[in-house]
Structure 1
């Protein structure tokens, strides 16, 4: 019976008492923080700190901080088992590297998002400009501005004003009368030269008749 009780007590002993092969009762201060279910983790931790140091750390911690202290001890033991060189430092460095990588990726994504927004705004302005040009062309139709003519010299414009009402006909004959005629009734260019008689046959002393039309 005594042997069975010892085996049962050993199975339910805390990880610290089980490692020390001593009886664990309700007065054990380590039992709430290192239960028997975490015996393998306690083994990893005691290889680094030692049982006596673990007990000292737990005794120095405030009652409300002992659970956190126990978790830190067990975590350090597990980390050292997985990475004997760096331990928790390796985990911290790995997490920092992940954070930095994610921050760089976030920065790149923000830049890409800004470029997409700028491109969208530029495309919108281009489309709006095309629509305005199309509407302007449709409203104007074929109304093109009149060509700008060069300025004529003052003497030319003054001469043109003289003949705004019609065209005059001058003759070199002394008895020619000045007449106003309509240019629509004649050819665009008219030059007429008549020679009548000669110096011997003409009795009036007028040997030549020349009629010329000038129009601007």
Structure 2
């Protein structure tokens, strides 16, 4: 009697598992999921351009990076999709790093940099590697470490991207520290993967003092 009850219970459990929704096939992750994340990322970048270095921007970018990584384990995907997810996660972490730099939260920025670099390596995306190392150079300049800034910029300069892509943004000027009157970094530059080159950004120059009118 007990054996019949046990066998019947196992059979019922197996039937319930087979009938459960969502267990027939794993979720398929595609480029539409990547594009959805990137669209939300564009909104974060726009907010950064308006407000700069706020903690909320950093947290939103970091949370979006975690969401991209969670998608890696949410279902099946092609290698192309997985590489794009890693690249997007690296870009999101890079923006969290930039916001932390802008807010002078340098220890937090260094933690974002380490994770962004690991994700960029897994993606194989040269453009995001360039961005991260360029951000690292800017951070070192702000921290008063020009030798480290030169080293970070040298890594970025030696990437294959800069040798073949004329759209690569210029690196921070070596040996120059940001003005104490204006420590805030510029808004994070957009780095499109395809399309026409954006116009180059140039450092702002102070206007010369007006000369007094001749007497």
Give your verdict on TM over 0.5.
Answer: no
More helix by share: 2
Relative contact order higher in (CA < 8 Å, ≥ 6 apart) = 2
More strand by share: 1
- Structure with higher Rg: it is 1
Name the TM-score, length of structure 1 as normaliser. Answer: 0.19
